[in-house]
Amino acid sequence: MDVQKKMTVGGIYMTKRTVKDLDVAGKKVIVRCDFNVPRKDGVITDDNRIVMALPTIKYLVENKAKVILMSHLGKVKTEEDKAKNNLECVAVRLQELLPDVKVTFCPVTRGEELENAVNALADGEIVLMQNTRYEKGESKNDPELGAYWASLGEVFVEDAFGSVHRAHASTVGIPTNIKENGLGFLVEKEVTMLGKAVDEPAHPFVAIIGGSKVSSKIDVVDNLLKKADKVIIGGGMAYTFSKAVGGSIGTSLVEDDKLDLAKEYLEKAGDKLVLPVDNVIADAFSEDANTSVADAGQIPDGWMGLDIGPKSVELFRKTLAGAKTVVWNGPMGVFEMPKFAKGTEEVCKAISELPEAITVIGGGDSAAAAKQLGYADKFSHVSTGGGASLEYMEGKTLPGIAIISEK
């Protein structure tokens, strides 16, 4: 199948095989997981990604598969990086989460030690292979590496939503060689929820796009303008739009090379695009800065916008009223500083209070913000993959899912 094929409406992914369509009993099943967990001094600080992988792993164990888990961890360029990004800490945590299952860690990514560990597996046991990125060929999707890893198993399950937008040896190379493949429960849920929200939304459909740069979100804005009834723009990218129509933005973040593009969008989208009408401004990028509120386009010299203001919160709340589908990607301000988190928090609150709406957060910073502000469980779905959900919203093909066999 052509991995680059564009998605059709409804998502080409709803027809993909899932782990439940596969015969796994007594088979060696390779599962690509996303165990790219944050750590401090070698200790895992948030095990959410491991916990999210458990439904698929437990299903395979209960159905008597011999389970081979693979994942990357961090960026690996040097020998020093290898030591820093050793996956053993994940094996330890997995064993704690699955006390009745034998979990073995294999410290290498190829060779006799790995092959022996795989061949020693009994039904319902797990081996976790060392970090896939220890292999230089992983991120290049080296065909030899993909074929070698595939030779270790008989069935492949794709359950790393955070990595499916990358055509790597472990995400695309393995299923190229193993036709008995399917999506794990985590990826299936992501595809279902994002598909419902982006490809087959119930209307009114409101998209909220924040974050700092127009350049990184322009494809999302472009795709969602075709589908949504309203697209709300917040965060740092709003100042580029403001300057494009002649507004004064002080020392706010701006992409001068994107002013014409912003202008073009404003003309093209008309009242579909909803921009902030006021901003919380500061005289320095600091929690201790002096702050004030200024109307959009009237920020004095020496001051910068770091959040949306109270009138914008009200406008966005009104725009969201009655929405049946909401997709949110990117914060409204510098939410990491409590002084400038109010806009993001109020938008979180407004979305969470919508009755009967499908509400989806597209991973990354907005997921972190919702979590930090205590609203994560109030949404229909919080995506586990920042880059992957962003590319899904842009209408791009996700190679790690596209390669999976149809039902």
Residue-level pLDDT at 199: 87
Cα–Cα distance for residue pair 327/358, rounded to 1 Å: 8
Q: Is 4 exposed, middle or buried (0-12, 13-18, 19+ CB in 10 A)?
A: exposed
Of 188, 217, 238, the residue that ends a domain is 188
Choose the final residue of a domain: 188, 216, 232: 188
pLDDT over threshold 90, residue 309: yes
Quickly count: other Cβ atoms within 10 Å of residue 42's Cβ.
10
Least Cα distance to 355 among 380, 332, 328, 330 occurs for 380
Say yes or no: 112 and 136 in one domain: yes
Residue 398 lies in a domain: no
Q: What is the pLDDT of residue 204?
A: 96
Provide the whole-model pTM.
Answer: 0.84
Do residues 241 and 179 both lie within one domain?
no
Of 130, 139, 187, 204, which is closest to residue 166 (Cα–Cα)? Answer: 139
Q: Given a cut of 60, is residue 175 above it in pLDDT? A: yes
Domain count of the fold of the chain: 2
Cα(53)–Cα(59) distance, rounded to whole angstroms? 10
Q: Is residue 195 part of a domain?
A: no
Does 239 lie in the same domain as 179? Answer: no
Number of other CB atoms surrounding residue 407 within 10 Å: 9
Please report the pLDDT score of residue 15 as a whole number: 87
Domain that holds residue 321: 201-393
pLDDT at residue 403, rounded to an integer:
93
Q: CATH number of the domain that 167 lies in? A: 3.40.50.1260
Query: Which of 128, 154, 188 represents a domain boundary (last residue)?
Result: 188
pLDDT in tens, 123-155: 999 999 999 999 999 999 999 999 999 999 999
Q: Domain check: are 252 and 307 in the same one? A: yes
pLDDT per residue as tens digits for the range 348-391: 999 999 988 999 998 678 888 888 888 888 999 888 877 888 88
H helices of 85-133, in order, are: 88-97, 112-119
DSSP string over 271-323: GGEE--SEEEEESSSSTTS-EEEEETTEEPTT-EEEEE-HHHHHHHHHHHTT-
Regarding whether 388 and 253 lie in a shared domain, the answer is yes
Residue of 28, 324, 378, 387 marked catalytic: 387
Q: Is 402 part of a structural domain of the chain?
A: no
Q: Both 174 and 230 in a single domain? A: no
Whether residue 302 is found in the same domain as residue 343? yes
Residue 400 within a domain: no
The catalytically annotated residue of 49, 66, 133, 166 is 49
Question: Average pLDDT, whole number, for the chain?
Answer: 92
Active-site residue flag, 173: no
User: Which stretch of 29-33, 191-195, 277-281 has the lowest confidence by average pLDDT?
Assistant: 191-195
364 in active site: yes
Residue of 236, 364, 386, 400 with catalytic role: 364
Active site residue 17: no
Alpha helices by DSSP H, listed for 171-282, are 174-177, 185-194, 214-227, 237-244, 259-269
Is 49 designated active site? yes
Q: Is residue 57 part of a domain?
A: yes
